[in-house]
């Protein structure tokens, strides 16, 4: 019998960086006994991203952060939109360069993630934020 369900995850961030919430998603799937279907996650913000990345070596996250900080420089004189701080326009650009929604099959009660894949909110602002992620499941 097909069914669908909705949820909102809240991820607290403490400045720029990657915040994993794979476990929260996995727990929601288990608590609802979803067996097979499609999970969709949508981040409701324009200055942070959703990212699937390696969750083994923390150096990977540090290098990602440093690469993006160099590619999209805070305070770049190119930017006109500066009223919300010199890290705001870079945050919008980093969001455009990545994505705000993900779709992952659920099979045999488990997310079809690879061995090293984790689900992250990537905070692009320097200040702490509470980031809301809308979740949707459809399946059996």
Residue 4 found at the interface with its own copies (CB under 8 A): yes
**29 contacts its own copies (rule: CB under 8 A):** no
CB of 88 to its own copies, least distance (A): 9
Check binding of 27 to its own copies (CB under 8 A): no
Least separation, in Å, of the C-beta of 108 and its own copies? Answer: 9
Which stretch in 9-17, 19-27, 88-96 sits in contact with its own copies by CB under 8 A? 88-96
3-state secondary structure string across the chain? CCEEEEEEEEEEEECCEEEECHHHHHHHHHHCCCCCEEEEEEECCCCEEEEEEECCCHHHHHHHHHHHHHHCCCCCCCCCCCCCCCCHHHHHHHHHHCCCEEEEEEECCEECCCCCEEEEEEECCCCEEEEEEEEEEEEC
Task: List residues binding its own copies (CB under 8 A).
Answer: 2, 4, 6, 36-38, 40, 42-46, 51-54, 57, 59-60, 62-64, 66-67, 70-72, 76, 78-81, 83, 89, 92-93, 95-105, 107, 112-117, 132, 134-136, 138-140
């Amino acid at each position: 019998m097909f069914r669908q369900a909705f949820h909102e995850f809240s991820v607290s961030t403490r400045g720029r960086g990657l915040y994993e919430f794979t476990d929260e998603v996995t727990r929601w799937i288990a608590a609802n006994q979803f067996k097979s279907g499609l999970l969709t996650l949508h981040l409701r913000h324009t200055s942070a991203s959703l990212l699937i990345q390696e969750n083994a070596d923390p150096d990977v996250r540090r290098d990602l952060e440093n690469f993006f900080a160099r590619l999209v420089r805070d305070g770049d004189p190119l930017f006109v939109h500066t009223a919300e701080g010199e890290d705001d326009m870079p945050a919008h650009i980093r969001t455009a360069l990545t994505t705000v929604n993900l779709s992952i099959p659920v099979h045999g009660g488990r997310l079809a993630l690879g061995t090293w894949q984790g689900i992250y909110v990537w905070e692009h602002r320097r200040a702490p934020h509470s980031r809301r992620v809308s979740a949707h499941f459809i399946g059996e």
